[in-house]
Amino acid sequence: MNTRRALAFIFCTVTLDVLALGVMIPVLPRIVLGFMDGDIASAAEVFGLFATVWGAMQFLSSPLLGALSDRYGRRPVILLSCLGLGLDYIFMALAPSLVLLFVGRVISGVTAATISTAFAYIADVTPADGRAKAFGVVGIAFGLGFVLGPAIGGLLGGLDPRLPFWVSAAACLLNAAFGWFVLPESLPPERRMAFSWKRASPLGSLALLRSHTQLLGLAAANFFGQVAHHVLPAVFVLYGAYRYGWGEEIVGFTLAGVGVCSAIVQGLLVGPAVARLGERWAMIVSLLFGAVGMTIYGLAPTGLWFWIGVPVMSLWGLAGPASQSLMSRLVGPSEQGQLQGANTALMSIAGIVAPGLFAITFAYFIEPIPGRLNLPGAPYLVAALLLVVAAVIAARATAQRRLDVPHR
């Protein structure tokens, strides 16, 4: 197996999955607004529904794709999803009505749920002691998608709101063709598991997390971390405008900086940090760095102080790869897809719960009511608290015994 080429394809796939969300940020509201005859309030409600349904489809589909990959192999699931995502972009580019655009977004939520299978592929082809570094390299894809998605959507959308769909479709279809030639199967038939709807359902997949005390603890820590992660997309634009008077350019520059710093940490620092600290301490320390960074965000009196918090908060990027590596050691080869599906299901739940939590918190603490504390950074302080809770849970879960146990 040419592992290098296969991992390059997985990297491209995850990047495109993240782009599937990011590229819509600047153009989808405009398209929805066009269908709503300029009614901004109604368009905002519809766009919120689009986002919620997309997250719900991720929640439902990630465990299913993970279970299918445990039964039929990673290659067919990943390639079909890439092909489906490309075709769905074409469908949305041509959608003549709001209903069909909504259908396309539903399909996008399903076909972009391959991240769980992609991470299972990594667990298949890398040794246990090298997984944290491999997960970190692929984690760069999240940073790239976070930076490139809105940028591509904004640049191309300025020419034609539908153009980002066509460009994304071409990229996904080319990636599927690339994968057909370079992506070998990573899960041999003798290591596969029979398919069952119980394992493929979101609740059934989550049952795997209860099979091991440490696995459950790590999953809980991941969940709190994922909820905290959503504070930026939930309130950042409004927070920057309210507190610092930032416009679109500075907001875009700041988000790009967040993505670049995150990519640097995951691409260059995960390996050395894990080698020096071990996976357990790399995870715990990075969660605490994230808490410090969020605190800086919440208390920063000026935009400069907010930017100082960006590199501090980006060190939180060590936690994900370290946690993924630890969790992958606690299940057998035939359960990697189910594990990653369960993890992605938890991410989807966080994506459904977190935006409302942080938006309501922000609104509450800026409302001009006599006697109420004006604290616009409250959402970031809540996120910091969640990361401290995640660090405590992770420390307790991994303190029971060493995690370098063989596969079950």
What domains sit in the chain, N to C, each tagged with a CATH number?
1-180 (1.20.1250.20), 209-408 (1.20.1250.20)
The 10s digit of each residue's pLDDT in 57-72 is 877 887 788 788 888 8
Single-letter residue type at 261: C
Neighbouring C-beta atoms of residue 75, cutoff 10 Å:
19
Is residue 25 over pLDDT 70? no
Give mean pLDDT, residues 146-162. Answer: 77
pLDDT range class, residue 2, cuts 50, 70, 90: low
229-233, 260-264, 348-352, 389-393: range with highest mean pLDDT = 389-393
Is the C-alpha dihedral spanning 376, 55, 260, 389 positive or negative? positive
Q: Which residue has the higher pLDDT, 358 or 6?
A: 358
Is residue 342 over pLDDT 80? no
Is residue 382 over pLDDT 80? yes
The 10s digit of each residue's pLDDT in 227-275 is 998 888 778 877 888 889 887 678 767 877 887 888 788 778 888 888 8
- Write out 59-102 in H/E/C secondary structure: HHHHHHHHHHHHHHCHHHHHHHHHHHHHHHHHHHHHCCCHHHHH
pLDDT confidence of residue 351 = 77
Single-letter residue type at 65: L
Is residue 335 over pLDDT 60? yes
How is residue 216 written in tokens?
Answer: 């459950």
Q: Which of 68-82, 129-143, 242-256 bottoms out in mean pLDDT, i.e. has the lowest? A: 129-143
Is residue 312 within 8 Å of 296, Cβ to Cβ? yes
Residue found by looking up tokens 């299913």 in the block? 64
pLDDT confidence of residue 406 = 41
Integer Cα distance of 126 and 238 in angstroms: 42
For residue 367, give the DSSP letter.
S
Is residue 389 over pLDDT 60? yes
28-42, 302-316, 347-361: range with highest mean pLDDT = 302-316
Q: Is the pTM of this model over 0.75?
A: no
**H/E segment holding residue 331:** none
pLDDT confidence of residue 312 = 94
Q: Which residue has the higher pLDDT, 79 or 248?
A: 79
The 10s digit of each residue's pLDDT in 273-299 is 888 888 889 999 999 999 999 999 999
pLDDT range class, residue 3, cuts 50, 70, 90: low
Q: Which residue has the higher pLDDT, 4 or 269?
A: 269
The 10s digit of each residue's pLDDT in 26-62 is 677 778 878 888 776 677 667 667 777 877 887 788 7
